[in-house]
Amino acid sequence: MSIELHCPHCAKHIRAPDDAGGKRGKCPACGGSLYIPMPVSDDDLIPLAPLDEDAERRAEELRRESITYAASVDKDAARAGTEGRRDEGTKGLGPPQSEMPGEVVDYGGLVNRFIVAMHESKLDEAERVAARLKKAGVRAHDYVDGLFLDQMPPNIKGVPPQLVKSFLKALLGRLGE
């Protein structure tokens, strides 16, 4: 078996014999001095912990329950607090659509749809979702702002966390202040 490494000077792939481990050598391509690490045995490798599917499922259920609970609290607050109040964005037509009695807005689901649509370059779908969130008003903006400010962005299958952050920033721009 041999030790495989890359030269720090020219990035050339090098194979060194096991007995060269722990010593310094020269790169055969560029002649640069390099350290040859000790060989790694199977005993040195630490296996990854298996993914706990039940824990993942429970976490998703809790997230959905919290969204449903928050939406029901919002609905109750809308019923109690919007009587006689008009939102400027509706030009006297009543409370914003997200505060209509009986309507529940799944902010998390809509944000996920927006991010997936953006990732898949389905810009029309992303715009429709953003418009629906904008109709939801301040609560939707606050929800997205909270996700954006969170150290750990939502885990959305197939979308890198940095990209999720970028899409959340773009969504905040569409929702306005």
- pLDDT tens for residues 126-143? 999 999 988 888 888 888
| Claim to verify: residue 26 and residue 60 sit in the same structural domain | no
| Claim to verify: residue 157 and residue 107 sit in the same structural domain | yes
88 inside domain: no
Q: What is the structure's pLDDT at 75?
A: 66
Domain housing 164: 54-70+93-175
| Claim to verify: residue 28 and residue 97 sit in the same structural domain | no
Among the listed residues 131, 130, 137, the one whose alpha carbon sits nearest the alpha carbon of residue 168: 130
Among the listed residues 139, 29, 35, the one whose alpha carbon sits nearest the alpha carbon of residue 78: 139
- Please indicate, yes or no, whether the overall pTM of this predicted structure exceeds 0.75: no
**Residues paired with residue 25 on neighbouring β-strands, in sequence order:** 34
Question: How many CB atoms lie under 10 A from the CB of residue 174?
Answer: 16
β-strands 13-17, 33-35 pairing: unpaired
Q: What is the structure's pLDDT at 97?
A: 42
| Claim to verify: residue 6 and residue 64 sit in the same structural domain | no
| Claim to verify: residue 116 and residue 144 sit in the same structural domain | yes
Q: Distance (Å, rounded) from C-alpha 172 to C-alpha 167?
A: 9
59 inside domain: yes
Q: What is the structure's pLDDT at 49?
A: 85
48 inside domain: no
Q: 44-73: per-residue pLDDT in tens?
A: 778 888 888 998 889 888 888 888 887 777
47 inside domain: no
| Claim to verify: residue 35 and residue 7 sit in the same structural domain | yes
23-31 long-range CB contacts below 8 Å, 24 or more apart?
A: none
66 inside domain: yes
* Structural domain count, the chain: 2
Rounded to the nearest 5°, which phi and psi values hold at 82?
-105, 0
87 inside domain: no
| Claim to verify: residue 59 and residue 143 sit in the same structural domain | yes
| Claim to verify: residue 64 and residue 142 sit in the same structural domain | yes
| Claim to verify: residue 112 and residue 170 sit in the same structural domain | yes
Give the residue carrying structure tokens 């009986």: 102
77 inside domain: no
28 inside domain: yes
Averaged pLDDT in 10-residue chunks for the chain of 177 residues: 87 90 92 89 80 89 83 66 43 41 73 91 92 86 84 80 89 83
Q: What is the structure's pLDDT at 157?
A: 80
Say if residue 39 is exposed, middle or buried (CB neighbours under 10 Å; 0-12, 13-18, 19+). Answer: middle
| Claim to verify: residue 66 and residue 141 sit in the same structural domain | yes
